[in-house]
Amino acid sequence: MKFRIWMAGVAVALLALLGSVYVVAEGHTAIVLNLGRVSRTDIGPGLHFKLPLIESARVFDRRLQVLPAEPERYLTSERKDVSVDFFAVGRIEDARAFYRATGGNEDVAVERLAPIIKDALRNEINGRTLSQVVSGDRTEIVKSQLDAINKGAQTLGVRIVDLRIKQIDLPTDSQVIRDVYRRMSAQRQQVASRLRAEGEEQAQQIRAQADRDRAVILAEAERDAQKLRGEGDAQAARIYAQAYGSDPGFYAFHRSLEAYRKAFADGEAVIVLERNDPFLQYLRDER
């Protein structure tokens, strides 16, 4: 009987010891609740003790955490839609405030932080044009709103150390993307029209230059041909003169043959002459 009582006492003591000891890992913090009320907070890493049954410990991770969010649609100062995909990096700054605001539930903290961050981004994007939002410095967009975000996050015991925009898109169902496509198409049409105009201008210049070159070549060829014909005629005249000068009779005979050839060239000419006309002297049979 005494042994049983002794064993029961040991078991109770062991349970009391286990219930009074808790460990806080590196990078974590803890709070101690006394009958549900926060009695001690910001307890650092190490082995700690609490009153069994009366006190309980809640341990929280104080390391940096990535707080994801769904892409959100905003309107620029031009009333154009953009879809912004972002994430925040934060950590628990005040364990007491975090427990009181969320009951120690991190999902609740993320749900309550999301609208604070989205509203801050909305205020910043609403004051910028589409070009400034898409092609501007994204760090400038979130830098001015980080203090405002932390004022809201302070009530949750959380501090946001960084906010990053991953991607900015034009919604596929938005009028903006259609306007962008039309503007891009118009720009391409302008470029194509300018290239066609430049090509037509160059083609006209090439054709004009080719026509000038053709006219110059033909003129030079005609000049050279005239020169060659003149030289040929002059040389033929000299040869004829030499031949005619050496034999006047042959010259008269040749001239008569040329006259006959021209007179009867078409084969239908009729010439009425006297029988003794000198024109026919080489056609008579004087045997």
Residue 285, in any domain of the structure: no
What pLDDT does residue 275 have? 62
Domain ranges, residue 198: 192-246
Residue 286, in any domain of the structure: no
pLDDT of 181-192, one tens digit each? 777 788 888 888
Residue 9, in any domain of the structure: yes
Concatenated DSSP letters of 200-261: HHHHHHHHHHHHHHHHHHHHHHHHHHHHHHHHHHHHHHHHHHHHHHH-HHHHHHHHHHHHHH
Residue 111, in any domain of the structure: yes
CA distance 24 to 59: 7
Is 136 found in the same domain as 88? yes
Residue 287, in any domain of the structure: no
Is 168 found in the same domain as 93? yes
Is 41 found in the same domain as 122? no
What pLDDT does residue 177 have? 60
Domains held by the chain: number: 4
Is 196 found in the same domain as 161? no
Residue 270, in any domain of the structure: yes
Is 168 found in the same domain as 69? yes
Is 158 found in the same domain as 227? no
Please give, one letter per residue, the 3-state secondary structure of 140-161. HHHHCCHHHHHHHHHHHCEEEE
What pLDDT does residue 111 have? 87
Last residue of a domain, one of 25, 43, 61: 61
- Per-residue pLDDT tens, the chain, 287 aa: give them: 555 665 555 554 455 555 577 888 888 888 888 887 888 888 888 888 787 778 788 888 888 888 877 888 888 887 777 878 888 888 888 888 888 888 888 888 888 888 888 888 888 888 888 777 777 677 777 777 888 888 888 888 899 888 888 887 776 655 656 666 777 788 888 888 888 888 888 989 999 899 899 988 998 988 888 888 888 888 877 877 776 667 666 666 667 767 767 766 676 666 665 666 565 565 555 54
Residue 73, in any domain of the structure: yes
pLDDT of 93-108, one tens digit each? 888 888 888 888 888 8
